[in-house]
Structure 1
Amino acid sequence: MKLDVIIPTYNRGELLKRTLDSLLAAHIPQGAEVRVTVVDNNSKDDTRAVVEGYMAKFGGRLRYLFEGKQGRSHALNAGIAATNGDLVGMIDDDEEVEAHWYARVDRAFRDGNVDFVSGPYIPRWGAAQPAWLPNGYRAVIGAIDGGDQVRVFGKEYDGVLMGGNAVVTRAMLNRVGPYSTLVGRKGSRLLAGEDEDMTARLLAAGARGLYLPDLIIYHYIPPERLTKRYYRRWCFWNSVSLGVLDRERPSPVVYLIGVPRYRYGRAARAMLRIGPTLLKRDRSSSQNFSDELAIWDLAGFFYGKHFYRPDDARGVSANSPSQG
């Protein structure tokens, strides 16, 4: 196994230390080669100094790379282009890998019958979980649990290959091309969708992917993400991204005014449930907030499909609304 682990990062020097510590502590199987590349995406903090401070500990297996184009997709693509291992792993800068992460990757790719793998994201809570936290929107905070069985993407598992716990063969990445830079997080803008797009392209190319329940990362959830304001912003901009992608690759479903009809139905059912709770002034439950988010989903998709125009050079559209 020749594995390149890529960590895109933006202004998270302190959290990055935990990520690097976990990669240092994880067991590397005998005969395997593992290299780590940190891609600094215009950080203004001490990110470079943090990485340089770890280089001796990694014994030549750690590299610092600067990518000036703002955006997570640009950072991932730069890391992929600058490395040459047979496997490309992707870990976020607020995560820690489980001690046997490398070993599980090695075992998964030994027989050559798999093109990509992912696994659970176990949350490490930075604050107490709010009572209103909706179970149907766990991806907002990066908490993913696909069960305790190995599952095949696209057949047994309809999840997304999230780029915070992903390993893909370089051969398959060369075949499907780089991450989309039309969408994806750029600075503080909560756009997303690059992982959904990559997953769709991998499956369309016939790639075989596995969800592995023991390929575990631990994901830090900061207190500022455990607010309703963050959830609303994330759901809106994530759906904006999906609307943008839908312009490029429409789904094989029934549309109404450019939006899949099922999205209207989901929002309508949510509004019907919300009505009685407004009269009772009971808006504290998880289900109530989940219903509200379904409406934000519809609004974001409609805006992304018809109005939002991503500027790939700056990553900011002049006519995009401000979310408060």
Structure 2
Amino acid sequence: MTHPTTIVIPTYTEKRWSYLQRTLESARAQTHRPDEIVVVVDHNPVMFARAKAELSGVTVLENAYPQGVSGNRNTGAEHAGTPLIAFLDDDIIADRHWLARQIEPFADPSVIGTGGAIVPAWAGPEPRWMPAEFLWAVGGSYAGMPTETAPIRNVWSANMIVRRETFAAAGGFRVGFGKLGDRNRPEDTDLCLRMSQIGGGRWMYVPSAVIQHEVPAERASFRFFVRRCYAEGRGKVQMAGLHENDALGAERSYLWSLPKAFLRHLTGAVRGQGVNQLLRAGGVVAGVAAAALGGVVETISSRRPVRRPAVKAAQ
């Protein structure tokens, strides 16, 4: 089975032009060649014109939806004519075997989507206080995830492949619900939940399908970390409000694992394994506290009537 695949790469600013070129280079170098690479520009006419003029061998589109990465991805998906659609961010480098490995689970017809490992590519030194359990805060795979190909509740849109038919039936990414400005809502988790509800399909995590995700220096700060965890707490509560069934079971299991992480780092510090262990124990506490505060704030705020963002079916 050849698994024809279209790669969709959303982008929005010329400040990331060099990143985008690097991402495209890695996409073109795959051992399993994609049938098409689509770059979708998010309401930036200057960048759209530059991309049309300078990017060869790719399809360049403008976001057909209101501003935001969800509509950007949906625009690319609606253009795709292949059974599989792969989503990459515009600031990644994909391993040359990434696509070949990540499409393997689709030999099982019950698999509706896959995700792969995301390795943070720090622009500077990795923060001494960063616990591996919180690497998701900078867009990376975190400690405790499967080390071999295994079922998983959700994957991340920076490294995601979907069956086009199921994606369209679910309505694609929820437009207006995602990352825009200072909002950071889990549009990828929301999509995974909705796609799984269609025919009971499964998601698979493929740790051997690796991408590197750029982490600029400003995102390696403790301030960014706390704000990101706070936003995640708010976003998860917002997501849960959009689903009738329990949508936060995986989050509760994750939270139960964090006291062990705290004790492991604290014990390491007591045993003389270095001050980094103590700093990471503090990072666990700070991350949990910030996410919890965000969850409480959103729970209180959500008691007011709000307009739910629309899910528009992909064509």
Q: TM-score range by the shorter chain?
A: 0.7 to 0.9
1:48, 1:190 → 2: CA distance?
28
State the shift of 1:310 in Å. 6.9
Matches within 5 A, 1:131-210: 131-144=128-141, 146-154=145-153, 160-186=154-180, 188-205=181-198, 206-210=200-204
1:28 to 22, 29, 32: 32
| Number of residue equivalences | 286
Which amino acid counterpart does residue 53 of structure 1 have in structure 2? Answer: E
1:299 partnered with 2:290: no
In structure 2, the gaps of 5 or more residues are 263-274, 311-315
1:310, 1:91 → 2: CA distance?
29
Q: Which residue of 1 aligns with 2:111?
A: 114
Q: Which residue of 1 aligns with 2:210?
A: 216
In structure 1, the gaps of 5 or more residues are 155-159, 255-259, 271-281, 314-324
Which amino acid counterpart does residue 150 of structure 1 have in structure 2? Answer: T
1:175, 1:52 → 2: CA distance?
34
Q: CA deviation digits over 1:83-102, x for unaligned, max 9?
A: 22111110001111111123
1:179, 1:39 → 2: CA distance?
15
Question: Any idea what SS the aligned residue of 1:213 has?
Answer: strand
Q: Which residue of 2 aligns with 1:54?
A: 55
* Identity between Structure 1 and Structure 2 (%): 22
Question: Any idea what SS the aligned residue of 2:40 has?
Answer: strand
Which amino acid counterpart does residue 29 of structure 2 have in structure 1? Answer: A
2:193, 2:103 → 1: CA distance?
25
Q: Which residue of 2 aligns with 1:5?
A: 7
1:227, 1:233 → 2: CA distance?
10
State the shift of 1:51 in Å. 5.3
Q: Which residue of 2 aligns with 1:244?
A: 238
State the shift of 1:44 in Å. 7.0
Is the Cα contact below 8 Å between 1:13 and 1:47 reproduced in 2?
no
Question: Any idea what SS the aligned residue of 1:249 has?
Answer: coil
Which amino acid counterpart does residue 26 of structure 2 have in structure 1? Answer: S
2:234, 2:107 → 1: CA distance?
39
Q: CA deviation digits over 1:175-222, x for unaligned, max 9?
A: 222212342101x32412111211222333311221112211111111
Which amino acid counterpart does residue 13 of structure 1 have in structure 2? Answer: W
Q: CA deviation digits over 1:274-307, x for unaligned, max 9?
A: xxxxxxxx99711112212212112211222332
Question: Any idea what SS the aligned residue of 2:241 has?
Answer: helix
Question: Any idea what SS the aligned residue of 1:143 has?
Answer: coil
2:279, 2:118 → 1: CA distance?
24
Q: Which residue of 1 aligns with 2:272?
A: none
2:28, 2:201 → 1: CA distance?
30
State the shift of 1:311 in Å. 8.4
Which amino acid counterpart does residue 175 of structure 1 have in structure 2? Answer: A
1:226 partnered with 2:225: no
1:236, 1:197 → 2: CA distance?
18
Which amino acid counterpart does residue 242 of structure 1 have in structure 2? Answer: K
Question: Any idea what SS the aligned residue of 2:207 has?
Answer: coil
C-alpha RMSD of matched pairs (Å): 3.5
Question: Any idea what SS the aligned residue of 2:25 has?
Answer: helix
